[in-house]
Structure 1
Amino acid sequence: MFYVRDLDNEPNTYANVFSFMGLPLSRELSEDVDAVILGIPYDLATSGRSGARMGPTGIRQASAQLRWEEKRWPWTFHLADKLRCVDYGDICFTDGDSDEMLAVLKAEASKIFAANKTLLSFGGDHFLTLPLLRAAAEKHGQMALIHFDAHTDTEASEAKYNHGSMFYHAPKEGLIKPENSIQVGIRTEYDYDNHPFQVLDAAWVNEHSLGEVLSNIKQRVADMPVYLSFDIDCLDPAYAPGTGTPVSGGLSSDRALQIVRGLQDLNIVAADVMEVAPAYDHAEVTSLVAATLALELLHVIAAKRSSK
């Protein structure tokens, strides 16, 4: 089932770009699988520009640019030696049927978690993190949230499908523990006096050292199981123009990768990369950085596993 290097059929940047990083396309959740990639082509909960439904395809296609490096810099190991991954493909649902999408996503994610796999999901709009948290909590209980974004997504909205209110509902449902959760890169309005999460806003992150940023995150999360959610608009539009609600003044791709890389000693049980909208992209800039962040997350998860 797993890719074995064949010098007569060497993979390259242009050939057979069907899955993330050329991983096997498989829905077998056997003991030979450690981590699963899942695509969710849905963006009907968005409040800005639509198009994130094409995010999973964009990320997979851009990942072809990353396949040539056997050991990803600056890691010193082959990912496949420490983490056995498959691409589960995308969930399928009737076009425009949000209720069906919700049911299918919850069922598939729950199945993956029940099989003791780490799940890395590609959106799609950020609303999708809420059903993913519901599925993850069934397996891991209440979690700490590390949330990279330009927006807090804590709008007090009772709308069933809203990509700006997931983290208003998640604490109310007991999925995440606010006092152990942190948001990074925020640079839009929120209720400063009553906000339940610690916030490292974009200006603070850009002005302080990497060590200070990581120290705040790790102190906040402590030893809890972690769900890491990365909305690509956490990055400045110079680095990620292809998204629905871009906000100037964000993180650089380098700073974001450094922060993610520094989280390797945390217990990350699931993660996602959301809000990539390739139609607004230029030269695959956003899709490429999203694919790079996803690959970095897999190395972080692999490094933690190998240290146990």
Structure 2
Amino acid sequence: LENSLNSALILRNISQDIESAQILSKNTSLINGCLNLLNNKILLNSLSINNVFNSIFELFVYTLDIIESISSFLCPAPHNDPLFLKLLSLLSSTNDTYFIIIILRSLSRLMVRSNNSKLFAADNITSAILDQIISYLLINTDHNLILTCLDFLYQYILPGGIRINNLLKSNFRFVTLSKILPMLLNYYPKNNKIFTNTFNSLKPFQSTSLKLVQRVNESVPEVAQELPLDLSAKINQLNEPERASQWLKCCFSANPDGEVTQISLWKSYEKEFFPVFQETSKKLLQAVDFIKNVANAFPNSAAMVIPTEKSKRFIIKGIQPR
């Protein structure tokens, strides 16, 4: 038993490295061994009985840790995947929060990339299991459990279609999600400090109403920004038209809906490099050549002429100032 524990601990530690976990996931002997260990008759919710029990329990924990690490490389689990089915069985038979979280994480990863084209392991999830997971969302003091449940539900419904119908056809699940999800959106930090990425700093559920803020696009600068001196010096070492191309990439970005006038673009280029011309006689591109060169920096841009009532607008469509 001691040798088994040491071996399991070594494998568990190795599996924490992503590349090693990928290699371990291809070892069928390891996966079969994990399945055999999960089939142990140990009672997950029992208290310690003796040293042998404690050792078996520890071996069980290491096994679950290994499965969690390699599960990302076993997805999507096929319909009758024995590992997925065993994890579902364990989930329904334990009330230990640590085991619940680690099992749900493994199941979530095994569901990644499943779809509606055929049956996958996720289609074995019963209504009772879904009720069990939804009920965990009501435990508003355990943020890790809530986050894990939400990830599980997200992976479950991601293919859409019948999965969403299965989730919501239960009145209990429909009502619970209708109440809980708006509450989760109302989480906010303690003392209104800067928001952190962990639920641990967030207050429990609040009954305040949800306030939505209208999303607005960030304003686009009207003219190109001046380059920092060190970057400008590096670009000036290039010859034309490469210098113009690199300057365009630094000062403008591709945007299918963006546009700049050809004259403003040329004036910005001239303003940036004319002082260099005065000092070194390094010539600038002619305006016509410069406008033609824009397509080299932004292949999806296009020089266009837009008729107006009084005159015409000459623009470059597909770029905007950064």
**TM-score, structure 1 normalization:** 0.27
Structure number with the bigger relative contact order (C-alpha 8 A, sep ≥ 6) is 1
**TM-score, structure 2 normalization:** 0.26
Q: Which has the higher helix share?
A: 2
Larger Rg: 2
Q: Which has the higher strand share?
A: 1
